Structure 1
């Protein structure tokens, strides 16, 4: 099916199945935090950008980004969409701009912003790096 092109109806069905919450990478981060005894809240707690995980006491907001959807500079994020390329390129550019704006707003309000990329979670030491970042003083 590598060279097949979806009909608009098929593409719509595929896109409807893309989750916005409780994704595999988000669940992986939440399991690691819970196992480490780190308390957190979901739903963004009214913060800009609705972070995936919020630790109010640590004043830390964690975003778990999919590499493709948020335009990461890894191989998966650098893939160019084949169908409706102009729309998707523009959409990903808007996502990146929004992500930067939200991080700036949170930082200006005194929050530490941690962004975990989908590809980061495939590295063997990602949990240790996350916990170290949470324990360190904000810069």
Structure 2
């Protein structure tokens, strides 16, 4: 099936598609800001230039368009009828790159989240937005728990190595903590 637009018209239409500051991104950013969360946008120093970076939570959020990032089993993510092979390769490369960037970020100690365009339709929007905040709270608590556990472990190690009249004080059972 041939494209219904001329090559020039198709090129113009494709040039109008944004890669940053899309409506879904702005929607999520406004919601997070309204909940008192502060973030950075499109941090180029991180792999994949995440759409939203929350340093306090060590979390990055990618807002993916279902078509461009190949969201499986999604109505929006269907392949065009023209140049199907080319589109399939392009979208598969996008998926591979997305997965690689998420692995790199996890290796750097970041939590990653992906919000799909179809999750922001009016019927699902509030549930999705609240889910983002809940996951951020969970990530923060996990990081806090790890820091608290490490701090406690350091305390125990320091206490066990102090000498008082030739005896080691402190216990590893956690009594008194």
Larger radius of gyration: 2
* Equivalent-residue separation in structure 1 for 2:23 and 2:59 (angstroms): 21
Unaligned runs of 5+ residues in structure 2 are 144-177
What is the SS of the residue equivalent to 1:57? helix
Name segments (4+ residues, structure 1) moved above 6 Å: none
Structure 1 residue 63, shift from structure 2 partner:
0.2
Structure 1 residue 106, shift from structure 2 partner:
0.4
Structure 1 residue 45, shift from structure 2 partner:
4.8
Q: Which has the higher contact order (CA 8 A, sep 6+)?
A: 1
TM-score normalized by structure 1?
A: 0.92
* Equivalent-residue separation in structure 1 for 2:48 and 2:7 (angstroms): 30
Q: Which residue of 2 aligns with 1:133?
A: 135
Residues matched between the structures, number:
136
Structure 1 residue 86, shift from structure 2 partner:
1.6
* Equivalent-residue separation in structure 1 for 2:3 and 2:49 (angstroms): 36
Q: Which residue of 1 aligns with 2:75?
A: 75
Unaligned runs of 5+ residues in structure 1 are none
* Equivalent-residue separation in structure 2 for 1:68 and 1:17 (angstroms): 15
For the aligned residue pairs, the C-alpha RMSD in angstroms reads: 1.6
* Equivalent-residue separation in structure 1 for 2:98 and 2:45 (angstroms): 16
Higher helix share: 2
1:1-20 equivalence runs, <5 A:
5-20=4-19
Q: Which residue of 2 aligns with 1:87?
A: 86
1:1-139 equivalence runs, <5 A:
5-73=4-72, 74-77=74-77, 79-122=78-121, 123=124, 124-137=126-139
Question: After superposition, what is the alpha-carbon deviation per residue over 1:34-71, rounded to whole angstroms, capped at 9, x for unaligned?
Answer: 11010000122510000000011111000000000000
TM-score normalized by structure 2?
A: 0.73
Structure 1 residue 18, shift from structure 2 partner:
0.3
